Amino acid sequence: MAINESGHKKRAGFVGLGLMGAPMAANIAAAGWEVSAWNRSTSAFDLVPAVSRVATVAELRDEPSIIFMLPDLPFIEAAAIDLLESWRAQPPRPGTAVVIMSSVSPAHVKQFAETVREASAGNAVVIDAPVSGGTVGARNGTLAIMVGASPEDFERLQPLLATMGTTVRRMGPLGSGSLAKACNQLIVGTTTAALAEAAELAERSGMEVEALFDVLSGGLAGSRVLDVVGPRLAHKDYTPTGPAKFMHKDLGFVVDSAKSAGSAVPMAAAAIELYAELKRQGLGDHDLAVVRQTIANLGPVTAGSQGTN
């Protein structure tokens, strides 16, 4: 049983028991915390029997920390409406934390924080703490967690976050966690696309993709992305571990952040177009590896499109 400094059992609220959220909530409970959760579909609670179900998000109003793990900030804002109304009627305890663990816009999460501050009479603070590691990391409790928070809020929340991840780092103030996740997605999205291109080129040239990836993994091209996504690319296994359409959304955050910072992001600009094409082809609900099928559907390169002089 996890006990806080006052001698009481540690508690947390959780909103969103999807592919990532369910195992994350289960790991918090397995660490001895008392977890109360809301999810639109009640069947999700069959996967996390140690978690208590609440009928509305507003019922989580007195939890010291409330984690949101929904697809994007608009979903979070919609789910939090009754919670914020409850706080407007009666402010929560000072120090209440709203922890956004989804991939969201670095700019918009700051706007949401202002809404939460106003609704809670300044008693609740928003922390952005997006994750990387996929469903495997969520199940194993080995996620990388990128946190945007004040040093004091980070220190206070670290024991909770440590139940879900092995790499938990404060990246800076609010919004920094989301920017770090956007950079993560830039690397994952472009690397996966490059591997998908290599797989298509190799196979169409008569080469065995598995053999190619095996030799690449032993050289400078080796990477964690190759280790995890490579087998799915090689076997054309597009069973979703997370919908590919979210990569387009995340790359949009990269482009928006780059505009604000005055930074060039040519790789992100190219990748966002490719993942937009993936969505246009109706492949967005498949695994990220389905970008290989997107590339295959584009057809052969023509002489005029090679960019040679």
In the chain, the domains with their CATH numbers are 11-173 (3.40.50.720), 179-299 (1.10.1040.10)
Tell me if residue 14 falls in helix, strand or coil. strand
Condensed to tens digits (0 to 9), the pLDDT of residues 72-114 reads 999 999 999 999 999 999 999 999 999 999 999 999 999 999 9
Question: For residue 169, what pLDDT is reported?
Answer: 98
Q: For residue 225, which of 132, 94, 99 has the smallest C-alpha distance?
A: 132
Task: Yes or no: say if 93 and 69 are a contact pair by the CB < 8 Å rule.
Answer: no
pTM: 0.89
First CA to last CA distance, the chain: 68
pLDDT at 16 over 80: yes
Active site residues: 181
Average pLDDT value for residue range 278-284: 98
Question: For residue 2, what pLDDT is reported?
Answer: 60
pLDDT at 286 over 90: yes
Task: Yes or no: say if 221 and 194 are a contact pair by the CB < 8 Å rule.
Answer: no
Residue 106 CA to residue 113 CA, distance in Å, equals 11
Condensed to tens digits (0 to 9), the pLDDT of residues 236-248 reads 999 998 899 999 9
- Which are the contacts of 117, defined by CB distance < 8 A and separation ≥ 6? 124, 125, 126
Residue 145 CA to residue 101 CA, distance in Å, equals 8
Residue 18 CA to residue 69 CA, distance in Å, equals 8
Question: For residue 303, what pLDDT is reported?
Answer: 43
